[in-house]
A and B are shown apart, each in its own frame.
Chain A
C-alpha cells in the first residue's frame, strides 16, 4: 500500500511538473510571438533612426599570404631647422628581397604645407634628377618607362598632405632609393615652435562622391597577426633655433637630445627607428626673454626677392567677456575608437566644465548620422552641463564618418547680432571628402567661428588647418590623453576673442609686392601672423594694421632689415598655390587656376595637384620576357586605432536565441522542481 502510494505520488509530481513546464513553454512561445510582432514595430523604427549608410570604408585590408616577396620599405628623414623654417630630406628605400621584378606603390603623408621641390632616383651609385611635369604627362612618361623596363619613379600629390610614389622595375634582390626634399614653415603657437612629421595615412571614411578613393587608401596591415609593424622610419633633426632655447621635447617618441650650443641641438630617435604608425612631433620653446616677436627673412632668386614674415600680435587686451554660444561637435566614428575617443571625451568634459552660466551651449555627436543633445542651444546651468557631461561620458565610437551631416547641424548659416557663436569640432579628420566639407563650411559659416581640435596619433592635418582657416578660428592638436588639459586651456584662452581683427598689410608701392595669404585671418592669442611675399626691391617699410579691442593697432617692418634665409621662394610659391586652390572653392574658374598653378609649379619645381615629379633611367633594366609584379606598400594602423572599429568585420552570424531558450527552459524546470519539492514538504 505504502509503496503504491509513493509511486502514485511520484507519478503525480512528474505529471504536475510536465504540465507546469508545458504551460510555461506555451506561455513563453505566445509571449515571444506577441513580442515579435511588437518588435517588428519598435526594432525597425529604432533602426530607421540610424538611417542607411551612404558611404563605406574602402575594403582594402590585405589578404592573407598575398605577395610575400613584395618589396620592403624603410624611410630615413633628416631635418635642418633654422629659425622658423625646416628643410626635410626624406629617403625612401625600396628593397626587393625576391626573384621577381616589382613595381612598388607607396601612399604616404607629408605636412600639409610642405613645398616638395626636389626628387631624385638613386640606383646604386647612379642618381637621376626628377623633373616637374604636368600630372597627366608625368604619368604617361612613367607608364612608358615602366612598359619598356626602365627604372623610374613618379611622385603625385593626392591631397595637400597625401602623396604617392611609384617605383617601376625594381629588379630581383635590388634596392632602389627615392630621395625627396621639402621646405616648410614651422608652427609657432603659444610661445612654442613645433615640427610635425606625419608617418601614416590613417584609413579614411569615403562618403559618396569621392572619385579618387583608391588613391588615398593604402592597404592596411592587420595588427597582432604575428607580423611586426612595417615601414621603419629613422629621424634626425639638426635644430638651430637662432635664439637661446628653454626646452626641447618630443611628446610621442623617445629621443636623444645632444646640446651643440645655446640655441643648437641634435635630436635622434632613442631606439634608432620607429614603425610608421604615428606622427613625430618635436617642440621647443625659446627662452622667455628671447621669444621672437618679429621675424623677417629674405632671399634673392632671379630678379625677385622672396620673403617670409612672422609677427607676434600684441598681448590680448583684457576686456569684459561677451556671453557666447558654444556648439561642441564630437566625432564618434569607428576611426576614433580606442585612445582617440577617450582623449576627445576628456577634452569635451573639460570644455563643458569651463562654461559660465551666461553661456549657451549644445553638443552634437556624429558617426553614420549626426545627433544633437538638445534640439536647440540651452543655457549652461549646472544641471544642463551635468546632463551633457553624463551624455558625453556614455558616447562610444563606431560606424561611418558622415561629417557633413554634423556640420550642417552645427553651422546654421545665420548671422546673429548678439554675442559670439563658436563651434568646437573634435575629430581625427579621417575622411576622404575634404573638398565637399570645406565648401560646406564656406557656405554655411555665417558669423560663427570654427575651432578644430585634432585628436589621435595621425590626424588629417590638412583638414584641421584648412577647416579652421575657413571657419576663421584656430586649430589645436591633442596627441595623447595627458596633453588634453594643457591644450584645452590654451584653446580656451583663444576662444575669448581674436586679439587682432581685420588685419591689412600695406607694402611700399615701389616693392610691387605679391603676398600670400591674400586675406589675413583674425589672430588669436598666441598665434602669429605669417606671410610669404615676393618683392622687386627691399626698400621702404611694411605697415601692418588691425583692430585690437576696438582700437586701431599698427606695426611697421623696415624691409631692408631682413635676415637672409634659404628656401623662401619655395615657401612663397607653395603659399600662392594654396591660395589659388582655395580660390576654386569661391568659384574661381578652374582652367585659369590650373594654368596659374602649373606655371608657378614649373618655375619653382613644386609638386602640386596638377604637377608631378618624374625621374626615368634611360636604359631598360628588365628583360622583356620578365613579368612585372605590382605591390602596394602596406601601411600600419595608426597607433591606438582599433582595426575592427575602422574596417568593420564580416557580418555577425548568430543570435542569442538558443542560449536564451536553453537557459529559460532550465530556469523553468528548476522552478517546477522546487515548487514540487516544497509541496511535498508542506
Chain B
C-alpha cells in the first residue's frame, strides 16, 4: 500500500525530481505515465464493453420477469397488456419446453426493440392457436439459446392469450439464409417456426444465416378439450 502512495506521489511530484534526475529516470517516468494512461484507457474501454454486454443480458432477463406479470393480466382478459407503461409491445404467448425446463414469454413484433426483451412474433404471420404458420424470432445468446438443444420429437407447449395450451412437436431444424422468407409462408398445417441466428457460437451479431426449427401442432392439452366440450354443450 505504501508503494502505491509513493507511486501516486511520485507522479504528482515529478517535476522537481525530474530536473535533478538522470535522462534514464526521466525516460522511465515518461514511459510509466504513458502506461498509466494506457491502463486507465483499457479500464474504461473494458468496463464499458463489459457493462454493455452485461446490460444486454440483464435487460433480457429482467424484462422477462416484468413480462410474466403482464402475461397474468393478459390471461385475466386485459387486451395488449403492456409489461411496462411505455412499452410498445406486449406478450402474445407463453412458450415452454417441458423436457428442458424452459419458459419464455413471446412478445408482439420481431424488431430489435422487442427482441431485446423476449422472443418476438413476426408481424403478419399467424399467432399460435390461429392456424397457419406462427413465426417467432429471438436471440441465440439470450432467449432462444435453447434452440440448439432441441431435437426432433421434442415437445413444445404454447399457452395462448385465451388460456389454451397447445402442443407442438419438433419435426426438423435447418440452416437458412436470412432472406429465405418462404419459411414464413402461411399455407399448410398449423405450426411454429422458431428462428434464431446461426452459427450458435459466433461472437458478433449480424450474420446472414438463420437456424430455423419447425414444430407442428399435434393437439391441445386436456384441460382445453374439456373446455371445448363444455362450450359445445352450452351451444347445444
Q: Please determine whether B181 and A32 come into contact, CB atoms closer than 8 angstroms.
A: no
In the complex, which residue of chain A has the Cβ closest to the Cβ of B201?
A658
Task: Give the interface segment out of B68-76, B84-92, B97-105, B228-236.
Answer: B84-92
A651 to B138, CA, bound (A): 7
Q: How far is the CB of B57 from chain A (nearest CB, A)?
A: 5
Contact call B57/A670, Cβ cutoff below 8 A = no
- Whether a CB of chain A sits under 8 angstroms from the CB of B122 is yes
Q: Which of A36, A648, A655, A660 has the most CB of B within 10 A?
A: A655
- B123 / chain A contacts, CB cutoff of 8 Å: 53, 56
B226 at the A interface (CB under 8 A): no
Cβ B51 vs Cβ A644 within 8 A: no
With A24-B43, A679-B7 as contacts: A658 and B144 at CB distance below 8 Å = no
Which residue of the partner chain, among A53, A658, A677, contacts B141 with CB atoms under 8 Å? A658
Residues of chain A within 8 A of B58, CB atoms compared: 29, 32-33, 35-36
Which residues of A189-219 have CB atoms within 8 Å of chain B's CB atoms? none
Among A41-49, A373-381, A434-442, A473-481, which stretch is in contact with chain B? A41-49
Chain B CB within 8 A of A382 CB: no
Query: What is the CA–CA distance of A652 and B197 in the complex, to the nearest angstrom?
Result: 7
* A674 and B181 form a contact (CB under 8 A): no
Query: Closest CB of chain B to A484's CB: distance in Å?
Result: 30
Closest Cβ of chain B to A621, distance in Å, is 29
User: Is A44 a contact partner of B46 (Cβ separation < 8 A)?
Assistant: no
The answer for the CA separation of A678 and B212 in the assembled complex, in Å, is 51
> Closest Cβ of chain A: how far from B133's Cβ, in Å?
10
Tell me which residues across on chain A come within 8 A of B46, comparing CB atoms: 24, 28, 663-671
The answer on a CB contact under 8 Å between A652 and B53 is no
Q: Which of B21-58 contact A (CB under 8 A)?
A: 28, 32, 35-36, 38-39, 42-43, 45-58
B3 at the interface (CB under 8 A from A): yes
The answer on a CB contact under 8 Å between B50 and A25 is yes
**B183 contacts A by Cβ under 8 Å:** yes
Cβ contact within 8 Å between B205 and A656: yes
Known: A56-B124, A664-B52. A649 touches B204 (CB 8 A): no
Q: Are A644 and B179 in contact (CB under 8 A)?
A: yes
Q: Cβ of A56: which chain B residues have Cβ within 8 Å of it?
A: 123-124
Which residue in chain A gives the minimum CB-CB distance to B54? A32
CB 8 Å contact bits of B118-140 with A (1 = contact, 0 = none) = 00101110000000000101111
Report whether A674 and B141 are in contact in the complex, using a CB–CB cutoff of 8 Å: no
Given A63-B185, A674-B39, A678-B39: A650 touches B51 (CB 8 Å cut-off) = no
Inter-chain contact B122/A658, CB cutoff 8 Å? no
Query: Which A residue's beta carbon lies closest to that of B184?
Result: A59
Tell me which residues across on chain A come within 8 A of B95, comparing CB atoms.
none
Interface status of A661 (Cβ within 8 A of chain B): yes
User: How distant is B174 from chain A, measured CB to nearest CB, in Å?
Assistant: 11
Cβ-based interface call for B77 (8 A): no
**CB < 8 Å neighbour of A659 from B35, B43, B66, B204:** B204
Query: Is the contact region of chain A dominated by helix, strand, or loop, or is it mixed?
Result: helix
> What is the distance, in angstroms, from A529's C-beta to the closest C-beta of chain B?
46
Asked if B52 and A41 make an inter-chain contact with CB atoms under 8 angstroms apart, the answer reads: no
- A242, CB-defined interface residue at 8 Å: no
A662 located at the interface, meaning its Cβ lies under 8 Å from any Cβ of chain B in the complex: yes
B residues within 8 A CB of A649? 178-179, 181
CB distance from A87 to the nearest CB of B (A): 41
User: When A650-B180, A654-B140 are in contact, do A661 and B50 touch as well, CB less than 8 Å?
Assistant: yes
Report Cα–Cα, A662/B52, bound state, in Å: 11
| B44 shortest CB reach to chain A, Å | 9
CB under 8 Å from chain A, chain B span 181-224: 181-186, 195-198, 202-207, 210-212
Known contacts A28-B47, A32-B50, A675-B39: does B202 contact A654 (CB below 8 Å)?
yes
Q: Which residues of B contact A45 (CB under 8 A)?
A: 86
Total contacting residues, chain B, CB less than 8 A: 81
- Among B106-114, B154-162, B164-172, the one that faces the other chain is B106-114
Q: Taking the complex as formed, is A39 at the interface, i.e. its CB lies under 8 A from any CB of chain B?
A: yes
Q: How far is the CB of B90 from chain A (nearest CB, A)?
A: 10
Determine if B181 and A670 form an interchain contact, defined as CB atoms under 8 angstroms apart: no
B59 at the interface (CB under 8 A from A): yes
Given A28-B50, A32-B54, A668-B179 contact (CB < 8 Å): no
Rounded to whole Å, the gap between the CB of B154 and the closest CB of chain A is 19
Residues B139 and A655 in contact, CB atoms below 8 Å apart: yes
B42, closest chain A residue (CB): A671
B62 at the interface (CB under 8 A from A): yes
- Least CB separation from B47: chain A residue: A28
**Alpha-carbon distance between A572 and B166 when the two chains are bound, in angstroms:** 61
Complex Cα–Cα for A670 and B35 (A): 12
Number of interface residues of A (CB under 8 A): 66
A/B pair count, beta carbons within 8 Å = 241
The answer to whether B81 has its CB under 8 Å from any CB of chain A is no
- Known contacts A653-B137, A656-B204: does B47 contact A32 (CB below 8 Å)? no
CB-CB < 8 A to B54: which residues of A? Answer: 28-29, 31-33, 657, 661
- Chain B residues positioned under 8 Å from A658 (CB to CB): 53, 141, 203
Q: How far is the CA of A332 from the CA of B234 in the complex (A)?
A: 53
Q: Complex formed: what's the CA distance from A635 to B135 in Å?
A: 26
Query: Quick one: which of B3, B111, B112 has the most chain A CB within 10 A?
Result: B111
CA distance A403 to B205 in the complex (A): 32
Bound state CA distance, A46 and B116, in angstroms? 13
Q: Does A626 contact B (CB under 8 A)?
A: no
In Å, the complex CA distance between A59 and B124 comes to 9
- A51 pairs with B55, CB closer than 8 A: no
A60 to chain B, nearest CB (A): 9
CB distance from B230 to the nearest CB of A (A): 35
The residue that B206 contacts in the complex, of A222, A652, A666, A668, with Cβ under 8 A, is A652
Is B225 interfacial (CB-CB < 8 Å)? no
Contact B137 A652, beta carbon cutoff 8 Å:
yes
Q: Does B63 contact A (CB under 8 A)?
A: yes
A37 sits at the interface (CB 8 A): yes
A671 to chain B, nearest CB (A): 4
B181 and A61 contact, CB distance less than 8 A: yes
- Taking a contact as CB atoms under 8 Å apart, the answer to whether B59 and A650 are in contact is no
Bound form: Cα–Cα A59–B125 in Å: 9
How long is the Cα–Cα vector from A222 to B180 in the complex, in angstroms? 9
Closest to A219 in B: B182
Give A27 to B140 CA distance when docked, in angstroms. 26
Specify the chain B residue showing the minimal Cβ separation from A41.
Answer: B86
Which residues 124-150 in A have Cβ within 8 Å of B in the complex?
A: none
Contact with A671, one of B39, B56, B116, B144 (Cβ below 8 angstroms): B39
- State in angstroms the CA–CA spacing of A286 and B113 once bound together: 57
Q: Of B35, B111, B195, B203, which is within 8 A of A653 by CB?
A: B195
B205 pairs with A655, CB closer than 8 A: yes
Residues in B neighbouring A661, C-beta threshold 8 A: 49-50, 53-54, 57
| Contact partners of B62 in chain A: CB under 8 A | 33, 36-37, 40
Are B124 and A653 touching (Cβ within 8 A)? no
Q: Is A163 an interface residue (CB 8 A)?
A: no
| Contact A59 B86, CB 8 Å, known A24-B43, A28-B47, A658-B203 | no
Nearest neighbor of B66 in chain A, beta-carbon distance: A40
* 4 smallest beta-carbon distances between A and B, as pairs: A651-B137, A32-B54, A664-B50, A667-B46
Interface residues of B (CB under 8 A from A): 3-4, 6-7, 10, 28, 32, 35-36, 38-39, 42-43, 45-60, 62-63, 66, 84, 86-89, 109-117, 120, 122-124, 135, 137-142, 144, 176, 178-186, 195-198, 202-207, 210-212
Apart from A47-B88, A663-B46, A668-B46, what 8 extra A-B contacts exist at CB < 8 Å? A29-B51, A39-B59, A647-B181, A651-B120, A653-B197, A659-B204, A660-B56, A671-B46
Q: Could you pull out 27 A-B pairs where Cβ atoms are within 8 angstroms?
A: A31-B54, A32-B57, A33-B55, A44-B88, A46-B113, A48-B87, A56-B124, A59-B185, A59-B186, A64-B180, A649-B181, A652-B178, A653-B139, A653-B140, A653-B144, A654-B140, A654-B205, A657-B53, A657-B142, A658-B53, A659-B53, A659-B203, A659-B204, A661-B54, A670-B42, A674-B38, A679-B7
Interface residues in chain A, defined as those with a beta carbon under 8 Å from any beta carbon in chain B: 24-25, 27-29, 31-33, 35-37, 39-41, 43-48, 50-53, 56, 59, 61-64, 66, 222, 643-644, 647-671, 674-675, 677-679, 681-682
